[in-house]
Amino acid sequence: MAAGLMLGAALPGVRAVLGGAEVLGVSLPIALGLLVMMYPPLAKVRYDKAWSMAFDKKVMAVSIIANWVVGPLVMFSLAWLFLPDAPELRTGVVIVGLARCIAMVVVWTDLACSDRELTVVLVALNSLFQVCAFGGLGWFYLQVLPSWLGLDTTAVSFSLLQITASVLVFLGVPLLLAIITRTVGERRKGRDWYQERFLPAVSPFALWGLLFTIVVLFSLQGDRIIAEPATVARVALPLVCYFVIMFMGTFLAGRGLGLGYEQTSALSFTAAGNNFELAIAVCIGTFGTQSIEALAGTIGPLVEVPVLVALVYVSRALRARLFDDTPSVPRR
């Protein structure tokens, strides 16, 4: 994060180069970083096992309720609680809450030793709902619900093409590559070679991709962060509350339902994370590049990254306290 801020401040031209490289509102440098970041965890997934996870009705119900009922409502409530006098910031925060995580959560769950197969199923479920429900939820939370409560409303329209492009780029491409790699690798070299030789070789790229993505994000918006620290702080407060509430609430729900740690952790991270690139693209496409809404959307990942990293450690600490399946050695 510090490197990104310094890069953006020292070389202002970098922002123009990186910011101008996009297609359909999707930043190509960020897409590259996410692709490199997501591929190794997805390559570790046993897709034959993942298919069976899709039929666990209890887990799927918890995920749908947490992501598409509770999450948007919590973010809407926090936005109005903390930003009642800032409609543009509030709108940006609400849009962040509507964009459910389909990318970076794969890395958080891998670092937390969550269930990889379940994570992929939940991410795919979020992707499907994102394409089908994002526009309707945006209309409900920005126009219908505020009008019912006697609050100010915001007229918006969302591009289905933009939402679909985000899903295909940030999930479709790395997922397809991972499935092809595992299928071809196991057929030609065997599962032992794939597990013992190939995966250890590609695993480090996940963290390199994560670091690259963070540097790009902060270099693109470093000037606005430095110039408007009060705005950043105002938006950060409801976001921090949101991430913690969603993670801990879902974690306790999973524990209460008798789920194991790996399932509970996967549910919690997918409920807490957000698709920041989609939120930023929607805000820019709807309100403009220099809009306050776009700034609020941009602050989302800048807050999410350090908070979710911290929650990785919280998750592993909770495993030691609440579950009896703590592994004696870390997973690769």
Q: Highest mean pLDDT: which of 52-61, 97-106, 199-208, 249-258?
A: 249-258
With respect to residue 3, please indicate whether it lies within any of the assigned structural domains. no
220 CB-contact burial (10 Å; exposed 0-12 / middle 13-18 / buried 19+): buried
**Is 1 inside any structural domain?**
no
Asked whether the predicted pLDDT for residue 252 surpasses 90, the reply is yes
Supply the pLDDT for residue 25. 56
pLDDT of residue 325: 64
Q: Which residue carries 């409801």 as its tokens? A: 238
Q: Do residues 138 and 279 touch, judged by C-beta distance below 8 A? A: no
Map residue 100 onto helix, strand or coil. Answer: strand
**Rounded distance between C-alpha atoms, residue 306 and residue 303, angstroms:** 6
* DSSP symbols for 271-286: HH-B-HHHHHHHHHHH
2 part of a folded domain: no
pLDDT of residue 21: 63
CB 123 within 8 A of CB 269: no
- Evaluate whether residue 8 is within a structural domain: no
For 157-187, write each residue's pLDDT tens digit.
Answer: 777 776 777 777 777 888 889 889 999 999 9
Count of structural domains within the chain:
1
Give the contacts of 152 (CB within 8 A, at least 6 positions apart).
Answer: 87, 146
Q: Residue 47: which CATH number?
A: 1.20.1530.20
- 3 state SS for 226-274: HHCHHHHHHHHHHHHHHHHHHHHHHHHHHHHCCCCHHHHHHHHHHHHCE
**The two structure tokens encoding residue 237:** 């407060």
- CB count within 10 Å of CB 324 equals 8
pLDDT value, residue 103:
76
pTM for the whole thing? 0.84
Residue-wise pLDDT for 207-233, tens only, equals 888 888 888 877 777 777 777 788 889
- Domain membership flag for residue 10: no
- The larger pLDDT score, comparing residue 254 to residue 9, is at 254
Q: What whole-number distance in Å separates Cα of residue 99 and Cα of residue 279? A: 6
Q: What is the pLDDT of residue 20?
A: 61
Cα–Cα dist 240/243, whole Å: 5
123-142 in b/e form (b: 16+ CB < 10 A) is bbbbbebbeebbbebbebbb
Q: 89: domain range?
A: 26-318
Position 7 in a domain: no
For residue 238, the model assigns a pLDDT of 96
- Residue 329 pLDDT: 44
323 occurs within a structural domain:
no
- For residue 26, pLDDT over 70 is answered with no
**pLDDT tens digits, residue range 254-304?**
999 999 999 999 999 999 998 887 787 788 777 876 688 888 887 888 888
Residue 238 lies in a domain: yes
